Amino acid sequence: MQISTKTRTLAQAALTSALLLALALPAAATNGYFSHGYGTRSKAMAGIGVSLSLDTLAPATNPAGLTGVEEQIDLGISYFSPDRGYDVTGAATGACMSAQQCTFGIGPEDKRSDKDFFLIPHFGIARKLDENTTIGVAVYGNGGMNTRYVDGSATVGAPIGTVPPGTRFTLPGTFGDGTTGVDLMQLFIAPTWARKFDNGVSIGISPILAMQLFEARGMGNFAPFSAEPENLTDNSHDTSYGMGLKFGIQVPIGASASFGASYQSQMWMSEFDDYAGLFAGQGDFDIPASATVGVSVAASDALTLAFDVQWIGYSSIDSIANPMFPNLMQAPLGSDGGAGFGWNDMTVYKFGAAWKSSAISTWYFGYSFTDQPIDSSEVMFNILAPGVVEQHFTTGYTHENANGNSWTVSAMYAPSESVSGINPLDPAQNIEISMDQIDLEFSYRFGQ
């Protein structure tokens, strides 16, 4: 069987972009560790797009949206700058009430992660098989747990001498084991088939291939709580592979409105063997299911308004959802029921607008809000992953070129949000974690 030139071009472009993204994708926390949007036009409208067809990254939101996209290629890159860190107040106790009950204090100190910007590319391509059927590939990424704290200190109590109070030791590093942090990278490749029917309804499906890279540093003092201390920390990057399925629908409502819905299954991933002593379930770190519904309305020839609601099921993934306590005392890290980051599910509300000011110019605006997923009781482990952002303000602009190509820019600002709570290993201390973000993105569309 011969492979058509169109199919070969599609496959070659997807593979090239996937390899580039695998080398370049860092973590980028927004709604937990899901991006606030995919594709520059969607990101300019706070991530809406389940009921609209914006560009070839549409499958990342709703595969059915690809039917409204012309034959084209989209290439883009964003400058993402998160400012995240922690502030510990209250002197470390550094004492033991018994040989089995010793405190573990941090600082006190105010630290910011020293990795504060990343370049994140994306790629999409669409081709028409016939008048109503479109195929394509979208290549994009998620992230959210990328931190590196240099210096810092931890003060621990040791049952040496008279207990209480024992003897205190102050060690370098946030958790007393040198430079501390985690690095998560996620790459998704979504080949897509979409079809539009005579009644205007569109459906689409994307089998999603996923790759994850993860590294943890500076957690050696948790070794006594780990089922596999040798696979707890400082094992460089480990890789995980897996897949899931995304499908969606778009339905016209009269002549000027549209409804959209999509669902992405949980992505079953291979285990991080080098971190089987950290993540619950012997290194299990599946990607949670998510769902989105929304409507869009053409308020006039120039103005389109849209509203999406997105749900992200973090609570179904034990390594993300299990609380630190009492799990840390009942099951070792890495075991079934081991401690995790204590994240809750998220529901994100997104509002977007597109205003076509002329034949060649379109302006975008957006706003989204949610409740961040971390409880005050979970702040200690989440020093590593302070994904507490709740709001996104966005804008953008598209310029149509005379040759059928176009370029788009978007900007996002997520104001600072924080969560504070007692250090569960030294109740004399209070820990506050915080984050704010900016994102600037540019993409270029190569038309027919």
pLDDT value, residue 196 = 98
**8 A C-beta contact, residue 28 and residue 35:** yes
**CA distances from residue 426 to 184, 221, 266 in whole angstroms, order as listed:** 28, 15, 36
Segment 362-374 mean pLDDT:
97
Q: Can you tell me the distance from the alpha carbon of 432 to that of 124, in angstroms, rounded to the nearest whole number?
A: 39
For 410-427, write each residue's pLDDT tens digit. 999 999 999 999 999 999
Q: Can you tell me the distance from the alpha carbon of 207 to that of 47, in angstroms, rounded to the nearest whole number?
A: 21
For 387-407, write each residue's pLDDT tens digit. 999 999 999 999 999 888 999
pLDDT band at 20 (very low <50, low <70, confident <90, very high): very low
pLDDT value, residue 119 = 86
Taking the CB of residue 198, how many other CB atoms lie within 10 A of it?
A: 6
Q: What is the mean pLDDT of the chain?
A: 92
Q: Can you tell me the distance from the alpha carbon of 40 to that of 99, in angstroms, rounded to the nearest whole number?
A: 56
pLDDT value, residue 143 = 58
Residues in CB range of 240: below 8 A, 6 or more apart:
211, 212, 213, 214, 269, 270, 271, 272, 285
For 280-300, write each residue's pLDDT tens digit. 999 999 999 999 999 999 999
Q: Which of 250, 278, 147 is nearest to 194 (CA)?
A: 250
Q: Highest mean pLDDT range out of 141-145, 181-185, 414-418?
A: 414-418
pLDDT value, residue 142 = 77
pLDDT value, residue 29 = 58
The model scores a pTM over 0.85: yes
Segment 211-229 mean pLDDT:
95
Backbone region of residue 200 per phi and psi (left: phi > 0; alpha: psi in -120 to 50; beta: other values): left
**8 A C-beta contact, residue 363 and residue 9:** no
DSSP letter string over 386-402?
A: -----EEEEEEEEEE-T
**CA distances from residue 275 to 177, 291, 299 in whole angstroms, order as listed:** 17, 29, 52
The region of weakest confidence among 29-33, 69-73, 371-375 is 29-33
For 301-352, write each residue's pLDDT tens digit. 999 999 999 999 999 999 999 999 899 889 999 999 999 999 999 999 999 9
Instruction: Locate 141 and state its tokens.
Output: 């990424």
Q: How many CA atoms lie within 13 A of 371 on its CB side?
A: 8
Burial class (CB in 10 A: 0-12, 13-18, 19+), 419: buried
Segment 366-379 mean pLDDT:
97
pLDDT value, residue 423 = 95
| 3-state per-residue secondary structure call for 267-332 | EEECCCHHHCCCCHHHHCCCECCEEEEEEEEECCCCEEEEEEEEEECHHHCHHHHCCCCCHHHHCC
Segment 429-448 mean pLDDT:
95
SS3 127: strand
pLDDT value, residue 18 = 43
Q: Which of 417, 392, 416 is nearest to 46 (CA)?
A: 392
**Superfamily (CATH) of domain 5-446:** Outer membrane protein transport protein (OMPP1/FadL/TodX) (2.40.160.60)
pLDDT value, residue 117 = 82
Segment 216-235 mean pLDDT:
95
Please list, residue by residue across 131-142, b when 16 or more beta carbons sit within 10 angstroms of its beta carbon and e when fewer do. Answer: eeebbbbbbbbb
Q: What is the rounded radius of gyration, in angstroms, for the C-alpha atoms of the chain?
A: 23
Count how many residues are written for the chain.
448
The three-point CA angle 295-299-305 to 5° equals: 40
For 201-213, write each residue's pLDDT tens digit. 999 999 999 999 9
Percent of the chain having pLDDT more than 90? 84
Spell out where 313-405 has E strands: 346-356, 361-369, 391-400
**8 A C-beta contact, residue 386 and residue 342:** no
pLDDT band at 7 (very low <50, low <70, confident <90, very high): very low
